[in-house]
Amino acid sequence: MKEIKVGICGWGNVATGLYKAVNANKKIIERNTNLDIKINFIGARRDNPNCDPQGALVLRDIFDVVSQDIDVVIELIGGVETARELILSAINNKKHVITANKAVIFNHGDELFKAARDNNVKILFEAAVCAGTPIIKVLQEELAGNNISKISGMLNGTTNFILAEMEKGEDFEPTLKIAQEKGYAEPDPSFDIDGIDAAHKIGILSHIAHGTPLPPKDFYIEGITQITGDDFQHAKELGYVIKHLAVAKQDFNAVELRAHPAFIKNTSILSSLQGVRNGIEIDTDLIGKIHITGSGAGQESTASGLISDIIHLAGSNKDRAEEISNSSNEIEIAEFSQISFQHYFYLEVDDNPGVMALITSLVAGHNIGIETIIQKDELADNLVPVFFITDLCEELQAKEILNKFKNTDVIKKVKRIRVEAD
């Protein structure tokens, strides 16, 4: 039986979840892989009452782990800068690295991957993106012979849960509170609800699929805090649902890289994804569209991704560096203002003659048509809600229309949400 010696840095929920999973599934792992995973060292500044690391030597300085007689360092301390220092220290000590830390890969990926290649070691990070949804190795191995034109999906379970509950008629704030009570959202949820977590994930996936740099520049990120229940009702009337989408789309030598709320057709596979699950759609040239869904968070899901990387490392040629995509100087990030979308506009307007004609003329002034327009019953204060979806137009044009609406006296409220093409 093959043995792989492991040192874990960090002793929080993710680390203890990994420790418990390795021990609980030890016989299954040995039967399926002929591999004995030995957790020999744990770097922990303090004990964790939820887990007794029997059989492992606990080192209070996490940096001491990297110099021990082990094959791989598993970085689970979180954060960015200290994690970067730890990973570089492990690499310089000729240790392979496995991490679940998407933020450090996103912010320092180019530097870390180069260091790994220079030292002929591997960095594996399956659990860093969507945890239990096996997307990294799918892109690196199973789809390595495909030209991938687009990756899109819901990459953050917290925002998907919130939006799915709001679709049922719930408001944002109470739904966020429920997500926090269930452990789906942190006490400070900004990383999730502001779109940063999803942005990190799609940036990493784009690096693998398209060779975009880490970190990427000119990256458009928008969260879900401005979405309301009315938006969901209007979306339903128009044949759409609202999801927070992360997208990497290649067009010639430029890649659209963005994370934001979007209307998507209610007939799409991604539209039906509920709860905290992740859903990813990949457009390929050889096998068409494929879809991957799975759990995106939690001890068990993350442990599954980490164990997958340990097994992959043990079964690979450990004397050869991982072939990780290099960033290319030829790949540019597309200018967001020049990307084309259809757009959903919601307006509250004075109930006066000629207002509808004014709205259509302001849109038509940019040579943009309106696909569908709906006027609803009067609100308070003699205001009428109007919402519509435009034809395809550049982001810059839509922003100009938005500003004209805001500067028109008879239009009192304006909102816009992008519509994602099939």
User: How far is residue 379's CA from residue 370's CA, in Å, rounded to a whole number?
Assistant: 23
Is 201 assigned a catalytic role?
A: yes
CA dihedral 87, 88, 94, 98 (to 10 degrees): 20
Is residue 302 exposed (0-12), middle (13-18) or buried (19+ Cβ within 10 Å)? buried
Say which of 95, 102, 150, 201 is annotated catalytic. Answer: 201
Q: Tell the residue number behind the tokens 């001890």, with chain if given.
A: 299
Task: Read off the DSSP letter of residue 141.
Answer: I
Q: Tell the residue number behind the tokens 């084309």, with chain if given.
A: 340
Residue 232 parent element (H or E): helix 229-238
Q: Tell the residue number behind the tokens 């070691």, with chain if given.
A: 121
CA distances (Å), origin 8, targets 66, 128, 183, 302, 365: 9, 16, 24, 14, 61
E runs forming strands in 44-122: 57-59, 72-75, 96-99
User: How far is residue 112's CA from residue 94's CA, in Å, rounded to a whole number?
Assistant: 13
Which alpha helices (H) appear in 8-101, and where do they start and end? 13-24, 26-33, 81-92
Two tokens, residue 352? 């006066």
Two tokens, residue 230? 């009315």
User: How far is residue 358's CA from residue 384's CA, in Å, rounded to a whole number?
Assistant: 14
Q: Are 155 and 280 in contact (CB under 8 A)?
A: yes
Q: Are 248 and 256 in contact (CB under 8 A)?
A: yes
Helix/strand number for the chain, H first, E second: 13, 18
Catalytic residues: 201
